[in-house]
Chain A
Amino acid sequence: MAMVVDYKHDSSFPYWTSIRRRFDPDSPFFSSGNLERELLAKQVALDLTEDERNQLEKMIDNDARGVFCPIVGCGARLTSLEDFEDHYIARHTASCSVCSRVYPTSRLLSIHVSEAHDSFFQAKVARGYAMYECLVEGCDLKFKNYKGRQQHLVDKHKFPTSFEFFNKAHPSKKKRLKNQQKRRTHKKDEEASSKMEVENETIDGLVSAVSKLSTSDSSPSNISFGRRNARGLTFVPRSIQAPREKK
């Protein structure tokens, strides 16, 4: 197999190193060429249908072993690497309708929605209930605060210390500018901006608008990855909130 020696220098990132790669003759790297040799030599290559040829190649290629989806807890078997992107988009991009953050499973999305957009959840937290679920399916432990859950993930489930469940999202530059502008306009004319921001008449839209208003402060408009804790949301009347079902 190829041997790539990387330098684990500062912050132990394995930097690109330019080195020669050598393969043993029975390495999977050479298998498609070996297959080609045998097919051509037997001179039946012409007799093979396109289908048969593809099947044969797949039988030898790495893909034949089956790629498994590497997202934690998924384990779906993909027939080829090319399929992975489609699979990822279909199954691992559950997006929040309130704030557009994206999560790889619907369970995590639902946890996010409770923790970030449900003031009922916040109310229970304030009263001392253990509301923050462990993110690992099957663990079932609950914690009284975000940090406690965070620590549990790192200690018990070996999550990286830089992992942050909340504030994962990274708004694009356009969105960041838009957010900046909204906050400036809001400072001038509160009513006018709230009217401008309500893009549709649904309850979701109202909640979204109100929650944006309530989180405004003088901190930077972009939400940084891995640095900030969840900011408290002010109380939103339950009559405005859409009921959310936990799965």
Chain B
Amino acid sequence: MADDSLASHRRDPIKSSVGNVAAQRRRQNAATVGKERRESLVRAKRLCRVGATGEGDVLVEENHMMTDEEGFLLEDQTSSAVKELKSAVVYQGKGAMQKRVNALRELRRLLSKSEFPPVEAALKAGAIPLLVQCLSFGSPDEQLLEAAWCLTNIAAGKPEETKALLPALPLLIAHLGEKSSLPVAEQCAWALGNVAGEGEELRKVLLSQGALPPLARMVLPNKGSTVRTAAWALSNLIKGPDPKAATELIKVDGVLDAILRHLRKSDEELATEVAWVVVYLSALSNFATGVLVKSDALQPLVERLATSNSLQLLIPVLRSLGNLVAGDSHTTSTVLIPGHEITDGVIKVLVKCLKSDHRVLKKEASWVLSNIAAGSIEHKQLIYSSEAVPLLLRLLSTAPFDIRKEVAYVLGNLCVAPATGEGKPDLIKENLVSLVQRGCLSGFIDLVRSADIEAARLGLQFTELVLRGMPNGDGPKLVEQEDGIDAMERYQFHENEDLRNMANGLVDKYFGEDYGVNE
């Protein structure tokens, strides 16, 4: 029996007598591959399928789900390739260099074939020490390139695999230097970008080994794929949460200039990666934010938002703008002065984002508007009289939840005067009355009914504004019409004490004994 099934297994795996088991394993595999695939798509690491000089397997199939057999085969080949590399590294005779390059190339091809390269097999066979040896100073460019490429893909997957690159890091960093050929420097930057994308620990190691200055210098030229890869690697390197790297980066000679230049003039792909660098600079480092704002970084950001339609570019540019507005009160008070051209420009591009089809743009644009609306009375009036309000009102009733929350912040901020630090903030009655007349109350009552604490809080806070601020005591009537009392009474048996108290307080105060008696 056992022999039989073994034989049939070798002959025709799919139709073997253990076919059901194999099918089940494939299904299980599919589920794990599904999960693996999801994780790999979401990572901040990137596989290198096509080399810096344009070579690579053209016949690579995307979405090809390997059968078990193919997987085993690939693993076998990889182990052999590493063995081959080992002997090539040891060999000192004639044609040694070519032998090494060929072995490296073979390994590189195996590691670039599929979405899930056989990294585990390569590591198990001892690839890392060999690859480190191949990175030694004085090695020919081709050898350096292939070795760095292998390391790039080994580092593109699971955390343990990326961490395995530790011994190689100093050499990879060294080859970023200006003496290296561009393709070599780029491939090393790519590998380091993957390592930095793994997590805080590895970022710390890279920074302590001096990875930042040479990478920073690589973004100074005007163009080239090297600049783009280096920018991407930098965005991974400085993403924190420690703000030190971000602050250091902006201080490197020529970097600020290069960033602004790329934002202004470079092609969209390069501008995208640079914009992500700006995202992290502005989110983490107050110093960098200040420098960027003073150097008029807002202008090219607004320009890109106005002219580009590439979602890939718009996301980081919008977010950079958002971070600069959120991170520094000077942005709103000294740059975005109402009446200035730049301010009108900002409002316009934010409106453009509100009109877009993309969820992220609508949500983050609303966030930026809410921060501008948190400025002076003039800022509020500027937004209030713009195209933004009708769009926001529509979004409040129709958009997905996360967008509605941000929109709520904008509208509420338009109705409340800047905080003075003492007591209840004043209402801006005209805005409140007008927005309520245009039908925003039901959207806020919907938020009161939400299971999200923050949203419910916003809804209740706005309801309080209406109850307090609508003239002629109209507030309670209007709230009742929108089933607001019902929504608030739900909090009777809600587990959150703050919300319960808020809701109870409002109902007690505005819908007490005397409500509706003399009608």
Residues in A lying within 8 Å of B, measured CB to CB = 7, 9-26, 29-30, 32-33, 35-42, 44, 47-48, 52, 55-56, 59-61, 67-73, 78, 81-82, 84-85, 88, 92, 104-105, 108, 158, 160, 162-163, 168, 170, 172-173, 176-177, 220-222, 224-228
Contact = CB atoms under 8 A, between A and B. Distances in A.
A221 B416 CA distance: 36
Contact of B512 (A32, A40, A225): A225
B240 interface: yes
B374 interface: yes
B168 to A, nearest CB: 24
B347 interface: no
Interface string B336-369: 0000000000000000000000011001100100
Interface centre among A32, A35, A92 (most CB of B within 10 A): A32
Interface in B456-513: 457, 461-462, 464-465, 480, 485-486, 489-490, 492-498, 500-502, 504-509, 511-513
A59 B493 contact: no
B60 to A, nearest CB: 12
B326 A23 contact: yes
B425 interface: yes
What's the interface size class on B, roughly? 35 or more
Given A47-B62, A84-B451, A21 B493 contact: no
A42 B508 contact: no
A18 B367 contact: no
Nearest to B37: A52
A37 B425 CA distance: 39
Nearest to A36: B360
B370 interface: yes
Given A16-B412, A224-B513, A56 B46 contact: no
Given A21-B371, A160-B501, A222-B516, A42 B46 contact: yes
Interface string B71-101: 0000000000000000000000000000000
A78 B401 CA distance: 15
B241 A24 contact: yes
Given A33-B364, A40-B312, A222 B515 contact: yes
Given A7-B423, A18-B425, A25 B279 contact: yes
B50 to A, nearest CB: 11
A11 B424 CA distance: 12
Contact of B451 (A47, A69, A105): A69
Contacts, number: 203
Given A13-B506, A71-B493, 17 more contacts: A7-B423, A13-B502, A14-B502, A16-B412, A17-B416, A18-B373, A20-B326, A23-B283, A26-B241, A38-B44, A39-B42, A73-B493, A88-B449, A104-B492, A170-B511, A173-B480, A228-B513
12 contacts: A10-B424, A14-B502, A17-B419, A20-B332, A25-B279, A81-B450, A168-B492, A170-B486, A173-B516, A173-B519, A220-B513, A226-B512
Most buried by A among B416, B450, B451: B451
Contact of B423 (A9, A85, A221): A9
B446 to A, nearest CB: 8
A55 B38 contact: yes
Contacts of A222: 515-517
B495 A37 contact: no
A97 B519 CA distance: 28
B505 A20 contact: no
B38 A14 contact: no
Nearest to B423: A9
B193 to A, nearest CB: 12
B424 A41 contact: no
B15 to A, nearest CB: 30
Nearest to A219: B513
Contacts of B363: 32
B315 interface: yes
A70 B498 CA distance: 13
A25 B245 CA distance: 14
A35 B358 CA distance: 13
A72 B493 contact: yes
Contact of B489 (A36, A48, A85, A225): A225
B409 to A, nearest CB: 7
A36 B409 contact: no
A220 B517 contact: yes
Contacts of B489: 168, 170, 225
B38 A11 contact: no
A167 to B, nearest CB: 11
A236 B55 CA distance: 93
B490 to A, nearest CB: 7
Interface string B401-421: 110000001001101111100
A225 B44 CA distance: 54
A220 B513 CA distance: 8
Contacts of B461: 14-16
Contact of B63 (A35, A47, A108, A225): A47
Given A160-B501, A226-B504, A20 B374 contact: yes
B154 interface: no
Contacts of B360: 32-33, 36
Nearest to B283: A25
Nearest to B331: A20
Given A16-B465, A17-B416, A173-B480, A225 B241 contact: no
A45 B501 CA distance: 46
Given A15-B464, A30-B319, A172-B480, A163 B513 contact: no
Contacts of B509: 11
B190 interface: no
Contacts of A84: 449-451
A174 B360 CA distance: 44
B473 to A, nearest CB: 14
Interface string B34-62: 00001001111010000000000000001
A11 to B, nearest CB: 6
A73 B492 CA distance: 13
Nearest to B319: A33
Contact of B418 (A18, A33, A35, A172): A18
A55 B31 CA distance: 13
A131 B363 CA distance: 53
A70 B465 contact: no
B501 A12 contact: yes
Contact of B374 (A18, A33, A61, A92): A18
B327 interface: yes
Given A21-B326, A37-B315, A224 B419 contact: no
B378 interface: no
Given A16-B465, A18-B412, A70 B425 contact: no
B253 interface: no
Contacts of A23: 283, 326
Contact of B508 (A37, A38, A60, A162): A162
